[in-house]
Structure 1
């Protein structure tokens, strides 16, 4: 999948997702928004189904996550059984702020800046 697809009105943001080597999780690149939300939600649904205690989301190459994308992450975390969590590595600053503002203390999400 390419990061951007061209349309008649200009570039359309894309989201590429790749498995992490040696860890349960994915590395994403691009943006999470209206045109890529289905991809993002699919990743989160798969993570919930997999049943791992820790699922890593490497987001250092993600430039933007809209509020609906943050909400999808919070909703997926809410579906995890006790003790399971998403470890969100190097998210865009807006995602961290949105989670802190709208879903403070969400037990299924751990945000890591390293």
Structure 2
């Protein structure tokens, strides 16, 4: 999966956020870069839907190059994790602080989401 999406320039409104997603080498999952916001949510949700369809126990989301995930993006992650079968989980590696806080606040201890800072 190599998906990149950028909304056309909004003129004087400033740059529009983008999200690029690349497959991880050596393990099941993706590396994302950019932001998960309204204009990029379709990409994020597509990645999560694909991950749910995969037949692996662990699906890695490398987010060290993601600068922000809004609450709807966090909700999409929690909803997707809820669709994983027994014993399956997302390992979210190095997420932005906003995502960690949102998960801790709204979905503490979600069985389908493991947050790793290493």
Same-fold status (TM-score > 0.5): yes
List gaps (5 residues or longer) in structure 1.
none
Q: Secondary structure at the match of 2:16?
A: strand
Preserved CA contact (<8 Å) 1:3 1:30: no
2:53 and 2:77 mapped to 1: Cα distance? 14
1:17-28 maps to which residues of 2 (within 5 A)? 17-28=21-32
Q: State the 4+ residue runs in structure 1 displaced beyond 6 angstroms.
A: none
Preserved CA contact (<8 Å) 1:24 1:52: yes
2:70 and 2:99 mapped to 1: Cα distance? 8
Preserved CA contact (<8 Å) 2:61 2:90: yes
Which structure shows the bigger proportion of residues in helix conformation? Answer: 2
How many matched pairs? 114
> In the TM superposition, what is the alpha-carbon distance from 1:5 to its structure 2 partner?
5.2
Q: TM-score, normalised by structure 1?
A: 0.95
Q: TM-score, normalised by structure 2?
A: 0.92
Preserved CA contact (<8 Å) 2:20 2:33: yes
2:67 and 2:98 mapped to 1: Cα distance? 9
1:7-86 maps to which residues of 2 (within 5 A)? 7-8=10-11, 9-86=13-90
List gaps (5 residues or longer) in structure 2.
none
> In the TM superposition, what is the alpha-carbon distance from 1:7 to its structure 2 partner?
2.0
Preserved CA contact (<8 Å) 1:32 1:40: yes
For the aligned residue pairs, the C-alpha RMSD in angstroms reads 1.3
1:57 and 1:25 mapped to 2: Cα distance? 6
